[in-house]
Amino acid sequence: MIDKNKKYPKGHFMGYGLAIGIPLGMPIGLALGDIAFGPAIGMMIGFLMGLGFEKKYEKEGKIRPRTKNEKKIQKRNAIAVLIGFVILALTLIAIKLF
């Protein structure tokens, strides 16, 4: 849960937004007839959600800069997410080809 008195590192809510938005985009992609659009649409939805939360909490003074350790973890996680998306994209391409 979100603690009202806690300060959050910059980018904290972007992760939450993406985690919510991407699954929301999958049914949209299916409804449009191409599942490959789902994650892209979900990323846009999640990015906008996270950006909204970031701005809200920044106005309230509850966003702080990341520490060195948090930056290191963020870089590692970004690489893992990128690899995951590449695998997802390749899987979707393989499904479409066969």
pLDDT tens, per residue, the chain with 98 residues: 556 678 899 988 988 888 898 888 888 888 888 777 888 888 899 999 999 999 999 999 999 999 999 999 989 988 998 998 899 889 988 888 77
Rounded to 5 degrees, φ, ψ at 9 are -70, 150
pLDDT for res 1: 57
In a domain, 3, yes or no: no
- Closest to 26 in 3D by CA, of 93, 92, 82: 92
According to the model, what pLDDT value does residue 85 have?
Answer: 85
For residue 3, the model assigns a pLDDT of: 65
Q: Specify the number of domains making up the chain.
A: 1
Tell if the pTM clears 0.85, that is, is over it.
no
CB atoms within 10 A of CB 52: 12
Structural domain of residue 17, as residue ranges? 8-97
- Residue 80 inside a domain? The answer is yes
Structure tokens at 72: 């290191």
